[in-house]
Amino acid sequence: MSEAAATPPAPLDFIREMIAADLAAGRNGGQVVTRFPPEPNGYLHIGHAKSICLNFGLAQEHAPNARCHLRFDDTNPTKEEVEYVDSIMADVKWLGFDWGTHLFYASDYFEKLYQFAEQLITKGLAYVDDQTQEEMRLNRGTLTTPGKRSVYADRSVAENLDLFRRMRKGEFKEGEKVLRAKIDMASENMHLRDPALYRILHAHHHRTGNAWCIYPMYDYAHPLSDALESITHSLCTLEFEIHRPLYEWLISNVDGLPGSPYQREFARLNLTYTVMSKRKLLRLVKEDLVNGWDDPRMPTISGLRRRGITAAAIRSFCKTIGLTKFNSLTEIALLEHAIREDLNKISHRAYGVLRPIKVVLTNYLEDQVEHFEAANHPEDPTAGSRQVPLCRELYIESDDFMEFPSDGFHRLKPGGEVRLKFAFCIICQEVIKDDAGNIVELRCTYDDTTRHGKKPEGRTKPKGIIHWVSARHAIDAPVRLYDRLFTVETPDADAGEDGDFTQFLNVASLEIIPNAKLEPSLKDAAPGTHWQFERVAYFYADPIDSKPDAPVFNRTVTLKDGWVKK
RNA sequence: UGCCUCAUGGUGUAAUGGUAACACAGCAGAUUCUGAAUCUGUUAUUCAAGGUUCGAAUCCUUGUGAGGCAACCA
C-alpha cells in the first residue's frame, strides 16, 4: 500500500477548500495564480512568512497548473526604498521559495492604470475633486451618518478628462486635486464613499524616477494589478475585508482586464512577547533600541535568520499555526518547538561552558593530556565524532555545582560524584574559596575505572552527567545570549492607545558573555553553522561578526529544561 | 452610536447535522554517557440563553465578548 493511501489527507483550511471548489467547478481553466504583494517600505517579518508560505505554498501544491508572483506594491514613493526591495527578495528566497520569472512591480502598470482611470472617467464613474483634505473628511460623514457628495462631482466627462490629464502633466500642486471614484456617499462602508483613486505627489519614485507626479492609491492599484497578472486568488489579511466591495467594484467596472480575481482574507499572525507592526519595528530600529533590522531579537526574517532559526523551522511553524479568520495570539512556545525540532536534527554537538568554575583533578598527572572520542550527533552515527582533549584542569558550568544542593539535584556537590560526559566520573573532594567566600576552584579526584561509560566499581552509577572543557585547550569566544524582546505577552495591547510599547522592553534581552570557554574544535566553526552546546542551548556561528578562527556565537534557543528545582 | 467579521482545553487548530480530536504547553512514568531527544500515560475544551431536529460545536434568534472600518498609507 502506498504511503498516500495509508495516511489520511491533511484537513484543508477554508482558503484551500475554496480553491478546491473553484478547481472542481472548472473555474480559471484549472489554474491557481497567487501573489505575495509587499510594499517595499520595511523588512519582512514572521507574519509575512505566514503569507509567503500560504501563497507560494499554494503554487507548489497545485503545480504545474499554478504559480505565485512576487509583486512589489510600490504606489507610495515617499515611503519606499530599494534597500527594502532587495531585502524582501533575499528573504523570500531564503525561506525557500521561488517566483521564477514572475517578478512584478505595481509601478510597471502605471501607464495601464492611468488608462483605466480615463476609462472610468469616460464612463462617468470617476471625477476630479478640488476639495481640500479637510473638506473631504468633513463631507465623508461618520460611521453613523451619511456623507455629502462633493460640489465638484458633477463636472462633465470632458472637464474631468482635461483636469486629470493636467494632473498628470504636473500643472497642480500636491493636495490641490484628487481623482475619486463615484460610488455612494451614503454607503455603510466608508471605503465606498467616493474613495480616492489618484493623488498628486511630486516625489521621486525608486523605479519610475520623475516620470509621474500622480500616483494610484492601494485600493485602486491592487485589484487592477491582480487582474493584469491574471491572479486567480488574491489573499490578504483581515483588515482588508472591508475593502473587498471596492476591490470587486473595480474589477467589474473596468473593461479590458485579462483576469477576474477575487479577494479573500485570513487572520494575521500575532505572537506573544513581540510586536509585529512595521511601524513599531521601524521605531525599534530608528531609535537604536535594537541593533538594526537583523538584530537577532527582532521578529524580522533577517533577525530570525541571524539568530540561527532555520527556514525549515519557520515553514514548519507556519504549517502548525493553520489558517483561519480568528484573531489569535500564538504562544512563542509553538515557534520554539519548531525551531528545536529542526535544530535537533541538523546541529552537531559540542561542549561550551558559559559560566565556568575551575575543576582540578588532583590525582591526574600534571603534564598528561588525553583525548576522548565524542559523538557529533547522538541520533545520527553518520555525523561522525571528534577527539576532545582533557587535562588536569577543567572548566565546568557553575550551574552544575551546588555547595548546598537542593532536593533532586544530581550534578556535582561536595563529596558527590558525577560523570564527565564521554570521559570518566569525578568526585568533589574540596571546595576552595577566596577571602570573600567566592568559590574559585573545585578539587576533585577522577576514577580511572569509569571510562567509556562504565559504572564505578561497587557503587551505583551517578545520575549526573555534565559537560566540561579542558582549561589548557579551551578557546575563548564571545557568546550572545538572546531572550525575548519584551517582558509582557502583548506589549501593544498593554501599552494601550496612547501608551508606549517600549516601556515593556526586556532589559535582559541580550547578555553578552565575552569569554565563554569552548572546546577547541569550535575554533573552526564556520560562520552560519548551527551547533548544540550540549546541555545548554542551540547556537549559531554569527555569519557577520565571526572571523576566521574567531567565531562569535548567538544563542538561538535554549534546550528544554526538565529539571525543576524543588 | 452604524456596519462588517470572528468566538472549540492554558495556546494554536480539526471535526462540513451523527462518539469533540490533534499539536504545543503542563503533569507523571520509562529510557538515556545531554535533567535534551525518544517512548508511554495523563490533566483540561464547544462564549451564554432560547429555538429547529431523533440528534447541534455545526442551522436559526437574541445577547455577550473580541477585532476591523470614517489617509490624498498599504
The string of pLDDT tens digits covering residues A494-514 is 988 778 999 999 999 999 999
Give chain B positions with protein CB within 7 A: 1-8, 10-16, 23-27, 33-38, 66-74
Contact in structure between A335 and A271 (CB atoms under 8 Å): yes
Q: Which pLDDT score is estimated for A5?
A: 41
User: Measured between alpha carbons, how far is A324 from A268 in angstroms, rounded to an integer?
Assistant: 9
Asked if the model's pLDDT at residue A4 lies above 80, the reply is no
Residues A449-487: tens digit of each pLDDT: 999 888 777 788 899 999 999 999 999 999 999 999 999
Contact in structure between A275 and A42 (CB atoms under 8 Å): no
Cell of A369: 593530556
| CA angle, residues A512, A514, A515, in degrees to nearest 5 | 135
Q: Using only C-alpha atoms, what is the Rg of chain A?
A: 31
User: Measured between alpha carbons, how far is A71 from A230 in angstroms, rounded to an integer?
Assistant: 13
Q: Which nucleotide in the DNA or RNA is closest to residue A410, CA to C1'?
A: B35
pLDDT band of residue A11 (cuts 50, 70, 90) is confident
Q: Which nucleotide in the DNA or RNA is closest to residue A131, CA to C1'?
A: B72
The fraction of chain A above a pLDDT of 70, given in percent, is 98
Q: How many CB atoms lie within 10 A of CB A87?
A: 20
User: Measured between alpha carbons, how far is A424 from A465 in angstroms, rounded to an integer?
Assistant: 10
Query: Does the interface predicted TM-score (ipTM) exceed 0.95?
Result: yes
Q: How many CB atoms lie within 10 A of CB A313?
A: 23
Mean pLDDT of A393-413: 95
Contact in structure between A439 and A399 (CB atoms under 8 Å): no
Q: Which H helix or E strand runs over A562?
A: none
Asked if the model's pLDDT at residue A488 lies above 90, the reply is yes
Q: Which pLDDT score is estimated for A144?
A: 94
Distance A328 CA to B67 C1' (A): 10
Buried b (16+ CB within 10 A) or exposed e, A486-508: bbbbbbbeebeeeeebeebbeee
User: Measured between alpha carbons, how far is A566 from A564 in angstroms, rounded to an integer?
Assistant: 6
Q: Which pLDDT score is estimated for A566?
A: 52
Q: Which nucleotide in the DNA or RNA is closest to residue A452, CA to C1'?
A: B33
Asked if the model's pLDDT at residue A366 lies above 90, the reply is yes
Distance A234 CA to B57 C1' (A): 30
| CA angle, residues A37, A40, A46, in degrees to nearest 5 | 70
- Where are the strands (E) in A37-156, listed by range? 66-72, 103-105, 126-129
User: Measured between alpha carbons, how far is A63 from A254 in angstroms, rounded to an integer?
Assistant: 30
Mean pLDDT of A399-413: 94
The pTM assigned to this predicted structure is: 0.96
User: Measured between alpha carbons, how far is A232 from A153 in angstroms, rounded to an integer?
Assistant: 34
Contact in structure between A193 and A185 (CB atoms under 8 Å): yes
User: Measured between alpha carbons, how far is A68 from A64 in angstroms, rounded to an integer?
Assistant: 11
Q: Which nucleotide in the DNA or RNA is closest to residue A451, CA to C1'?
A: B33
Q: In what order do the strands lie in the sheet with A537-541?
A: A348-350, A530-533, A537-541, A553-558, A475-482, A510-518, A352-353
Side-chain half-sphere CA neighbours of A53 within 13 A:
23
Residues A190-201: tens digit of each pLDDT: 999 999 999 999
Residues A125-163: tens digit of each pLDDT: 999 999 999 999 999 999 999 999 999 999 999 999 999
- Find the residue closest to B10 using CA and C1' atoms: A331
User: Measured between alpha carbons, how far is A82 from A282 in angstroms, rounded to an integer?
Assistant: 16
- By annotation, the residues of A acting in catalysis are 39, 268, 278
| DSSP SS3 for A387 | strand
| Ordered alpha helix ranges (H), A123-188 | 133-139, 157-169
Residues A88-115: tens digit of each pLDDT: 999 999 999 999 999 999 999 999 999 9
User: Measured between alpha carbons, how far is A349 from A130 in angstroms, rounded to an integer?
Assistant: 69
Residues A50-60: tens digit of each pLDDT: 999 999 999 99
Q: Which nucleotide in the DNA or RNA is closest to residue A39, CA to C1'?
A: B74
Contact in structure between A377 and A493 (CB atoms under 8 Å): no
Asked if the model's pLDDT at residue A167 lies above 90, the reply is yes
Q: Give the residue among A213, A173, A219 at the shortest CA–CA distance from A196.
A: A219
Q: Which H helix or E strand runs over A463?
A: none
Distance A240 CA to B56 C1' (A): 32
Cα A93 to chain centroid distance, Å, stands at 14
- Find the residue closest to B6 using CA and C1' atoms: A326
Distance A337 CA to B20 C1' (A): 26
Q: Which nucleotide in the DNA or RNA is closest to residue A136, CA to C1'?
A: B72
pLDDT band of residue A245 (cuts 50, 70, 90) is very high
Mean pLDDT of A6-11: 65
Residues A419-446: tens digit of each pLDDT: 999 999 999 999 999 999 999 999 999 9
Distance A19 CA to B55 C1' (A): 32
Q: Which pLDDT score is estimated for A8?
A: 59
Considering chain A, what is the average pLDDT of its residues? 95
Distance A146 CA to B2 C1' (A): 10
- Residue A141's region, left for phi above 0, alpha for psi from -120 to 50, else beta, is left
- Find the residue closest to B24 using CA and C1' atoms: A334
The fraction of chain A above a pLDDT of 90, given in percent, is 94
Q: In what order do the strands lie in the sheet with A465-466?
A: A465-466, A417-420, A425-433, A439-447, A356-361, A393-397, A469-470
Q: Which H helix or E strand runs over A113?
A: helix A110-122
Side-chain half-sphere CA neighbours of A235 within 13 A:
30
Distance A378 CA to B37 C1' (A): 9
Q: In what order do the strands lie in the sheet with A196-200?
A: A126-129, A178-181, A196-200, A214-216
Distance A88 CA to B29 C1' (A): 48
